[in-house]
Structure 1
Amino acid sequence: MLKKLFIICSGADTDILDTCAIGEQNKYAGIGATVFFTAVMAFIACSYALYSVFDNLFASIGFGFIWGLLIFNLDRFIVSTIKKRNNIMDEIIQASPRLILAVIIAVVISKPLELKIFEKEINQVLLEQKNELTLANQSQIAEQFTPNVNALETNISTLESQITAKEKEVNALYDVYISEAEGTAGTQLLGKGPVYKEKREKHDAALAELQQLKADNKAKIADIEAQIAQLNTDYKTQVSSTQPIIDGFDGLMARVNALGELPWLPSFFILLLFLAIETSPIFAKLLSPKGEYDYKLEDAETAVKTWVEQKVSERQVLLHTDQVLNNKIYNDIAEEDELYTYKRKKARELMQLQADAFFKHQKNAL
């Protein structure tokens, strides 16, 4: 039963192959087994690739099954259309397009399996890329908020410097009126005289201005700090909202690119393996000698070809003979007086009708 299945997979004519030796049947069963298992590997590879994209098991299996059938049909077509010829160069020329197609199929099948085999290494590469993308994303978003934050912090520094400058002014006025009271500066008179009172009033006025300035600037600083806090919150919100995009950076294209950053030799060996599997049926048919099945298939095909060519040749001879007979018959008729007299009479009648019609038309025109 299994042998019969593999023979069907090889694309061989089962009616002809049943009349061949067991060895010939085993050869085509082996070719069919290669075609069958290549389709199975294509099914697995496509299912995994689609699962990594859609993350849906049933959809991946469904599309993978269709892809496996497509690969199976292509391989079966490639193998079944290679015919053994009497000239090796004719066979190579015949197989060249099929070999190119087989190589393409092998590359398409091997790539998803490489992604699965090197999944851990690919995940490590993707993690590094995600970290780099996260840092780059945070830096880009920060560029949108940093100028505003710096400007607001500069305003806070300006307001604080105003308070500091005013405090220095008040402290200086305090030293002035204290020195006046102690008699160490100013009028150098000990006691609280008129000059002391004047300087004390000036200090008190500056102190009141300082208190008012502190209250005003404190309110302004609180408002600016609230704006800075809001900008920081917006920055964190934007970072959080864009992070899932980076976390989802593990699709099929990202994994293929990550695979390209790994050492090429292991992937190359896997590709060679699938190239060998995919092209082995073609090379098996090219390298194997012309067998019993090939002779019987050629006999069946040439029998039909000969029969068709014979029918075409007979039709051409029949057409030529018919043309010769028709020409001879018409030549003999052309020499008969009876036919000449009859056609002369009809020609005269036709010319009379034309003359009458012309005369009538001209008369109406006048």
Structure 2
Amino acid sequence: MLKQFFIICSGADTDILESCSKGEQNKYAGIGATVFFTAVMAFIAASYALYTVFDNLYSSIFFGLIWGFLIFNLDRFIVSTIKKTGNFMDEFIQATPRIILAVIIAIVIAKPLELKIFEKEINQVLLEQKNDLTLANKNQIAEQFTPTITGLDDNIKSLQQQIDAKEAEVNALYDTYIAEAEGTAGTKLLGKGPVYKEKRDKHDALLTELQQLKAENKLKMAAYETQISDLKSNYDIEVQNTQPIINNFDGLMARVNALSELPWLPSFFIFLLFLAIETSPIFAKLLSPKSAYDFKLEDQETAIKTNVLQNKNQREAMLKTDYAINDRIYSDIENEDELYTYKRKKARELMQLQADAFFKQQKNVL
């Protein structure tokens, strides 16, 4: 039962193989088994690849099954269409397009399985890429907010500098009128005289300005700090909103690119393994000698071809003969007086009927 199933998978003619030896049947059963298990591997590879895309187990299995059937049909077609002619070069030229197609199928099957085999290494590469993307994303978002925040900080510093400058003036006037009272500077007269009073009044007036300036600037500074706080909050929100996109950066294309950053040799050997599996039925048929199955298949095909050609030539000969007979018959009839007289009589009757019909029609019109 299993052997018969694998023979069907090979695309061979089961009726012809039944009349062949056991060895011939085993050869095609082996080819069919290779075709079948290649389709199974294609199903597994496609299901995993689609799972990384859809993130849904049932959808991945369904489409993976379709892909497996497609690969199975292609491989079966490739193997079954290679005909043994006894000339290796003719067979190789015939098989070249099929070998190219087999290489493409091997690449398609091998790549998803490579992604699964090197999953841990790929995850490490993706983690590094995600970290780099996170830092780059933060820098890009910061470029949108940093100029505004820097400008607001400069405004706060400018307001603080105004306060500091005014305080320095107030402190200088304070030191001046104290020194005047102590007699260590100015008029150098001990006591609170007119000069002291003048300097004290000037200090008090400037102190009032300082207090007013502090009140005004603190309000402005508080408003600027509120804006800075809002901008920083917006920055954090923007980072939080974009971070999930980076966290989900592990799709099929991202994993294929990450795989390309790993050493190429292990991946290349896996590809060679699947290439050998995929092309083995083709090379098995190319390298094997022309066997009983091939002779019987050729005999059956040539018999049908010969029969079709015979029927075609026979129909052409019959048609040619029929043309010749018809030409002779009508040539003989052409010279018969009896046929001429009969057709002349009928033609005269027909013309009379036409004349009578025309006369009746014209009469009705008048």
Q: TM-score, normalized by length of structure 1?
A: 0.93
Distance 1:76 1:280 in 2: 13
Q: Deviations over 1:326-365 (max 9, x none)?
A: 1111111111123334445566677889999999xxxxxx
Distance 1:95 1:182 in 2: 115
| Residue in 2 that maps onto 1:51 | 51
Distance 1:356 1:197 in 2: 153
Distance 1:3 1:353 in 2: 83
SS at match of 2:186: coil
SS at match of 1:210: helix
| Residue in 2 that maps onto 1:69 | 69
| Residue in 1 that maps onto 2:364 | none
Structure 1 residue 31: Cα displacement: 0.5
Kindly indicate whether the alpha-carbon contact (under 8 Å) linking 2:52 and 2:251 is maintained by their aligned counterparts in 1. Answer: yes
| Residue in 2 that maps onto 1:320 | 320
| Residue in 2 that maps onto 1:158 | 158
Kindly indicate whether the alpha-carbon contact (under 8 Å) linking 2:166 and 2:210 is maintained by their aligned counterparts in 1. Answer: yes
| Residue in 1 that maps onto 2:107 | 107
1:225 corresponds to 2:218? no
* Aligned pairs for 1:1-366 within 5 A: 1-344=1-344
Distance 1:252 1:157 in 2: 51
**Residues 350-359 or 47-56, more deviating:** 350-359
Distance 1:257 1:342 in 2: 94
**Residues 177-186 or 246-255, more deviating:** 177-186
Structure 1 residue 222: Cα displacement: 1.4
Distance 1:319 1:17 in 2: 41
Distance 1:186 1:355 in 2: 155
Distance 1:167 1:357 in 2: 134
Distance 1:123 1:106 in 2: 24
Structure 1 residue 11: Cα displacement: 0.9
Kindly indicate whether the alpha-carbon contact (under 8 Å) linking 2:39 and 2:72 is maintained by their aligned counterparts in 1. Answer: yes
Distance 2:354 2:254 in 1: 88
Structure 1 residue 166: Cα displacement: 0.5
Distance 1:87 1:15 in 2: 26
Distance 1:270 1:47 in 2: 18
SS at match of 1:12: coil
Distance 1:356 1:191, change over 3 A: farther
Structure 1 residue 292: Cα displacement: 1.1
Q: Which consecutive unaligned segments of at least 5 residues does structure 2 have?
A: 360-366
Distance 1:312 1:131 in 2: 75
Q: Deviations over 1:236-274 (max 9, x none)?
A: 111111011001000000000111111111111111111
Distance 1:188 1:174 in 2: 16
Amino acid of the structure 1 residue aligned with 2:167 = E
Distance 1:350 1:88 in 2: 76
Structure 1 residue 90: Cα displacement: 2.2
**Residues 255-264 or 300-309, more deviating:** 300-309
Distance 1:351 1:92 in 2: 76
Q: Deviations over 1:42-84 (max 9, x none)?
A: 0110011111111111111111111111111111111111111
- The count of residues paired between Structure 1 and Structure 2 equals 365
Q: CA RMSD in A?
A: 2.3
Distance 1:303 1:177 in 2: 132
Q: TM-score, normalized by length of structure 2?
A: 0.93
Amino acid of the structure 2 residue aligned with 1:53 = V
Distance 1:268 1:200 in 2: 91
| Residue in 2 that maps onto 1:364 | none
